[in-house]
Amino acid sequence: MPHFSTVTSAYAGAWVRRRVFVPLYMALRLLALAVIAPGMAAAVNLAVSLSDQAALTDQDIAMFILSPVGFLATLAVLSLLLVAEVLGFAVMAAYLRLGGGDPWRTGRAAVALVLGRLPDLLRFAARFVLRVLLLIAPFAALAALIAWWTLTEYDINYYLTFHPPAFLVAVALIGLLALIMAWVLIRRLSAWALALHLVIFERTPPRAAFDESARRMQGKRGRLKIELALWLVLRLAIAAVIGAVAGVALGLVPSGEGASLRLILALSLAVLLLWSLADLVLSAIALGALAVLLDGFFETKATPPPVSRSSLRPRLIGLLVVSAAAVLAGVWFGNRLLERVQAPDDVAVIGHRGAAAARPENTMAAVLKAIEDGADWVEIDVQETADGVVVVMHDSDYMKLAGVDLKIWDATMADLDDIDIGSWYDPAFADERTPTLRDVLAAARGKARVIIELKYYGHDVDLENRVIEVVEALQMQDQIATMSLKYPAVQKMRKLRPGWRSGVLAATAVGDLARLDGDFIAVSTATARPALIRSVDEAGKDLYVWTVNDPLQMSKMASMGVDGLITDEPALARQVLAYRADLGPAERLLLWLAEEFGMDFDREARRDESP
């Protein structure tokens, strides 16, 4: 098996050079984080500044990317990301080509060589990204056409929940399309395998490097494909072994009654840290092995640039220390996280669609359960019926909740009286029917406030004014808030009732969310970062996060300083906040780090994770 032998030899060669490859990889990753990441953020902010909003959310992002300015901005951001990823590979490739007796002097020469080619690397990255996007575009368009053809008759949540035949057809067709696209990409990428080497070592202009690489790789691409496949399989196998060992180690951590929480978390965290370190070393070695593999296809010798006789080792160590210190200082001190960990919790508990883990979502049972469990706010979704009633409903139709093919905008209240929306959860809730906004507000008045999410599927008539009419009829203006994924709707609501509390709901976003109109911003947990929390707080607004159902994540979000937890389990959130009140900063910090390194106690599969 010559190909397998070549791949294992490549990994062995990278392992022999681990004393150089691993610290180089770590230093360059930190350098990318400290230097390239701000550049990428600047590119994103410049792009958003060319739009008419301080930030772009969800559908606005897609529309912006499809515009000429947005496409160029996206190309620039993706190019910066690619440069950040290839820096380590480029330096390892340069190290292999330069050779030499002193590994640290050679390493320094390799870094100098690659950094000297940074402008060319950026141009190369832009061309590479553009070529890949052009290859992917027709497949993506065809996949979108298949999805439109097979998955648009009913609400998407129905397809994602029940996987009906149409869904399976879509998955099969798009999967086949993905395989064809992967085959096309592998053919092209194998032809471009030497393009980066040509830019670095022969100063080939980026525009000509791809064609020259394809010419030199003629007759060799079949061998490269096999070796790359084996390289990937071996990397995944090693990662699986590391994960299995870590899993065994975590299983040995004492967790019975009487065990100290601090000891459990400290031991678990130690295992997770070692696991992360092993994965980091594996990433460096695997990248080095890839450099060794591709080096075997490149025949040109490289001449080391002149360097001083000083060793790379002290400079590399210094770079590691300075970069790590800068990153830690920026994260911990710049964002005042340590102070936040020690501060008393002031976090609102917000029941997502009521108490959606304990009762069928968006029903009166769920609303009443959320109030019973001590939720500060009950979050619901509202739409209009055909006869102009504002009802509580998330999806566009009743396929997921009741198997009934009826769009909410085509339904009358008489239709809804016959639709059971509780039995899917438990036959005990067979009497549940679609509640009206008036029903929910009346039940919550004086007991909990209500966040009303305005849902739009392109068939709304006068949703904002109808919501206003219901709220004012019950005189609950000071007990409600409104929000929406549709930013123009948020702006319209603020114009109609400037004194009402309103917020922006963002599943994804780029730009400065804190500058958008609204009293609060609601984001996913993946978006909730210290910098965002700080900027929203400095703007005098609140930040809510969704959907938080894991106790460790609840604790982490509270430590980060969010103002509200949108959760399917308000009772659990109350328990977590009560438990945290008795913990010191060390225990809170350990809980945070445990979640950051991947511990998760939320094992319940839920039907719908959308906001």
Question: What pLDDT does 423 receive?
Answer: 94
Length of the chain: 611
| Spans of the chain below 70 pLDDT | 1, 33-56, 58-61, 100-101, 255-261, 300-345, 510, 586-587, 590, 592-611
pTM: 0.78
164 sits in the region (left: phi over 0; alpha: psi -120 to 50; else beta) called: beta
Question: What pLDDT does 310 receive?
Answer: 47
Q: Please state the CATH superfamily assignment of the domain spanning residues 339-596 in this structure.
A: Phosphatidylinositol (PI) phosphodiesterase (3.20.20.190)
Question: What pLDDT does 331 receive?
Answer: 47
Q: Taking the domains of the chain in order of start, what are their residue ranges?
A: 2-333, 339-596
d(CA 354, CA 363): 7
Residue 180's CB is within 10 A of a number of other CB atoms, namely 12
Task: Indicate the Cα dihedral angle 183, 186, 192, 197, nearest 10°.
Answer: 180
d(CA 251, CA 276): 17
Angle at 480 between CA 527 and CA 414, to 5 degrees: 105
Q: Determine contact, residues 568/354, Cβ cutoff 8 Å.
A: no
Residue 29's CB is within 10 A of a number of other CB atoms, namely 18
Question: What tokens were used for 420?
Answer: 């059971």
Residue 279 class from Cβ within 10 Å (0-12 exposed, 13-18 middle, 19+ buried)?
Answer: middle
Question: What pLDDT does 507 receive?
Answer: 78
Report the half-sphere exposure of 245 (CA within 13 A, side-chain side): 12
Q: Determine contact, residues 231/289, Cβ cutoff 8 Å.
A: yes
Angle at 230 between CA 84 and CA 241, to 5 degrees: 80
d(CA 279, CA 233): 15
Question: DSSP secondary-structure letter at 436?
Answer: B
Question: What pLDDT does 300 receive?
Answer: 62
Q: 3-class DSSP state for residue 573?
A: helix
Question: What pLDDT does 309 receive?
Answer: 44
d(CA 572, CA 374): 10
